[in-house]
Structure formats: C-alpha cells, structure tokens
Chains A and B, each alone.
Chain A
Amino acid sequence: MKLRNAFLAPSAVLMTLTMMAPLAIIVVYSLLTRGAYGGVELPWTVENFTRLWDPVYGAIFLRSLGIAGVATVLCLVLGFPLAMFIAGSGPRKNLYLSLVILPFWTSFLIRTYAWMFILRDTGIVNSVLQSLGIIREPLPLLYNDGAVILGLVYGFLPFMVLPLYATLERLDPNLLEASADLGARPWETVVRVTLPLCAPGIRAGAILVFVPCLGTYLTSDLLGGSKTVLIGNLVQNQFTASRDWPFGAALSLALMAIAMLLLFAARRKGEELL
C-alpha cells in the first residue's frame, strides 16, 4: 500500500495545484459581483446562479448535450472498426496508430480552415459536383449543424480510437477464433465477444469525446458560422466580450455539474468512477 501512496502522490499534488485550487477560485468568483470591466468585486451574491434559471440557457444546454451526444455516437461507430483494424494489424500497429494521430499535430485552426475550404460554396466538393453537372447551384454544406458535427467527429475521432485500441489490443485472437470455430459469424463475434470485452475502452473513449465536445466553442463558431450558441460559447463570451466573470464561473460550474452527473449515471453499479 505504501507503493500505491507513493505512486499517487505526484499526481495528487499536481491536480491540487492545477485543478482543485483554481476550482476553488472559480467557486469564489461565481459568488461575487462582476467588476464593471471584467474581474470580480464584493459584495457576495447568489444572483449568478439564480440567473441560470432561464429557458434561454436551458435550451442552449439541451442543444449542446444533443450535439455532443450525436458526435460521440458517430465517433464510436466510425472509430471502432478502425481500432479493430489497428489492433489486428500485427507488427505495423504502432505505425497505423501514429497515422491516426498525425493530422492532429497541426493546429486546430489550420485543420478547420482546410475543412472550410472543402465545404464552402466555391470549395472542392461543390466545384467537383458542379463540373460533373450533378448540381447547378452550390450546396449549402458550410455553416450548419451538419458541418459542426462533422468538425467535432473529425476533431475527436482519435480520442475514441486510441482508448479503444488500448483495450482491443490485448484481446486474445484465440478467443475470436474459438468463437468462429463454434460457428459464430464475424459480426456475431464482434457483438458477443469483442464489444463486451472492450467495454472499459468504449467508456473511456466516450468520456474523452463527449466531455470536450460539450464544452466546445471554436468548432461551432468556425464551421457553424457563429449562428448558434453552445454552452462553450456562452462561457467563453462571459470571460471575453461580456466581461461578466462571475456569471461565466456560475455557467461553467453548472456545465461541470451536469457533465459529472452524466458520468456518474453512465457508470455501472458498484464500479469505480474512473
């Protein structure tokens, strides 16, 4: 047990300094009054929380949950076969894994600009379709929810594939063969054997995709054309343009509470949180 404590100590110190202490500051902020031009002032108040009871913000929360949910499911559906392929590719698996993550070592902004270039009216897709005579007027591919979800799925796919790979990789090929020998079709093997065995990976991936998607703001600005607000935008605005830090802190605590509730709800009975 001594070893366990020694192993936990560095991260406990780090998380206390970089997470819990700042969180305490956020809680304090959320209970103060906004300074006229940013920052916080006395007196203490709970008004920032009572302001949250407003259908406008409720609708924004629901919308954000919906978009994050769709993006997570799509990441799982698209990422699972890819993770299976990599896990089953023998000696080349490290190479294939790197190829998944390589595009993400360019800046987010640059990748997103590339997608805008593909999707816009004079972009590649529309130009090709028009020159083939399939369409006459350009399709409105950019600046809608579809484009936002595409951007999220693209941006977070590796966050699903990597944890899935980390659990799939240890799957015993003999187990899959046994399943096949016993007469299971390939998809039956996937559903009955592979999926249950890599449940921890699916859960980890879903968390790493869903939670950041919930707080996203740049994707909806750039690919959604800023025509809608998600919770991430709302929080971001309070800390920048609106200069209302206490309300931003309260909004953010609400977002964090909802995300934590969902995480607790998603875990199975008697299991550890992580």
Chain B
Amino acid sequence: MKRGLAVYAVGAYAFLHVPLLILAVFSFNSSRFAVWQGFSLQWYRAVAADGNLIEASVNSLLIAIAATTAATIVGTLAAYGLWKRGSAWLSGSMYLSLVTPEIVTGASLLALFQWIFRFLHLRLGMHTVILAHVGFSLAYVVVVVLARLRSFDRTLEEAALDLGATEFGAFWSVTLPYLGPAIAAAAMLAFTVSIDDYVITSLVAGVDSQTLPMVIYALARRGVNPALNAVSTLIVVGLGVLIMLSERLRRA
C-alpha cells in the first residue's frame, strides 16, 4: 500500500511539474518561437534589462504576501468564530464570493471603488488591489480551516477552560496548534490565487500597481515571449530554493 502510494506520487508530481520543465527548457532557447534552435541566455538578459517586468514581479510578490497574511489571519479567526456558532450572513457571503465569476467581482468592485472615490480623494492603486485580493482569497482560507475544525474534538478546549484557561487562552494554546497544517495549506492556497489573478487585478489596479500577470497578458497578446518563460523559471526556482532552505532550517 505504502509503496503503491509512493509510486503514484512520483507520477502525480511528474504530471504537476511537466509544464514547468518545458518552460524552463524553452527559457534557454535562442529562438523566440517554440522551436528549439540552440542554447542561449538572451531571455534572462532581456528580463534583467526590463525594469517593468522586475517592478511588476516585485509588486506581485508584495501584494500576494500582504494579501495572504491578512487573509490567513482574518480567515482563521472567522473559521473559528463560525465553528463556534454559524453566521448566515458571513458563510453566505463566503459562498457567494466563491461562486461569483471573476469578471463580475472585478467590474462590481471597480464600480464600488469609483463611487466611493467620488467622496474621498483617493485613486486606484496597490491598496485597492490588496483589498480586493484579501476579499477573494478569504473564502479559500475559511473553507480549508473550517474543514479541519469540523474534526476537532471540542472537549479538548472545554478541558482547558475547566482548568482555568481564558477563552482566548484555550484558543491560543489548544485549538490554534491543532489547526497548524490547515493554516499552512490555506495560506498556500491564498498565495496561489493572489499571485495568479489577472481579471480582477487588471480592473482594480491603478498605475503604480501593475502586477506580473498583467505584464504577462500584455506580452502574450503578441504571442509567446520566451522572456516570460525565463521570469517564471526564476520565480519557481527562487521560491523552490526558499522552501528547501526553510525546510532545512526547520529540521536542523
């Protein structure tokens, strides 16, 4: 059974990583078309020289980190609150946020912001993008964390309360540690939906908040651009190395 699972996992990881491998290979292609012509580093030079691409990548990472942090904290608290006792308004709005098509979320948020900005002297920018991202990634966090809470033994928390812990103390020292793996998984999902969003972002972005997906869609409108392969490879390798390092540190 165990060996069977391991063999299956190798296949599954191959499936998930095949496209990455391909774009990594083509980021070293000397042709701009998807036909192999020879090894070249020209696309990496193109990325290094493109201030726009770098600025957008940094913007994307900043937005994703800010939105993930906020959504994970707020979402975990909300999941805990909902687990204690349901709230039709909140769980209803969570579900609605999952079922709303992106373009509709984007267009209606833009309309809302434009209406508010008539009264406040504000403009679209990083703040509106981050707010939108927290909004649409919140439901993902709540769904994942709540799924784990559903299998939590309430008596453990009650025991802590009986032993004199405050309500918050019981949450902090008993429930929260139990939620760890779900919070990690939820944060990863939130980061993923944030860093990959194009439709909503492009509608609520101002000028100083161009993100990587926006630049990528702009470049791709003219067909495949190998500089994009190079940027993706750099991001995946960079984050991959970070993950490996943190894993090493944690275990050391």
Contact = CB atoms under 8 A, between A and B. Distances in A.
Direct contact between A and B in the complex (CB less than 8 angstroms)? yes
A272 B108 contact: no
Contacts of A11: 74-75, 77-78, 81, 90, 138, 142
Q: Interface majority SS on B: helix, strand, loop or mixed?
A: helix
B148 A7 contact: no
A166 B101 contact: no
B5 A85 contact: yes
B58 interface: no
A15 B34 contact: no
A96 to B, nearest CB: 8
A113 B2 CA distance: 35
A15 B143 CA distance: 14
B205 interface: no
Interface in A51-97: 78, 81-82, 84-86, 88, 91-97
Range class of the B interface residue count? 35 or more
Interface in A224-274: 231-232, 235-236, 239-240, 245, 248-249, 252, 255-256, 259-260, 263, 272-274
A200 interface: yes
B21 to A, nearest CB: 9
A7 B81 contact: yes
Contacts of A158: 188-189, 192
Interface string A129-163: 00000000000000000000000001001110011
8 contacts: A18-B109, A25-B108, A104-B196, A107-B216, A117-B34, A159-B189, A235-B103, A273-B92
Interface of A: 1-5, 7-8, 10-12, 14-23, 25-26, 29, 78, 81-82, 84-86, 88, 91-111, 113-115, 117-118, 124, 154, 157-159, 162-163, 165-167, 169-170, 186, 197-198, 200-201, 203-204, 207-208, 211-212, 214-215, 217, 231-232, 235-236, 239-240, 245, 248-249, 252, 255-256, 259-260, 263, 272-274
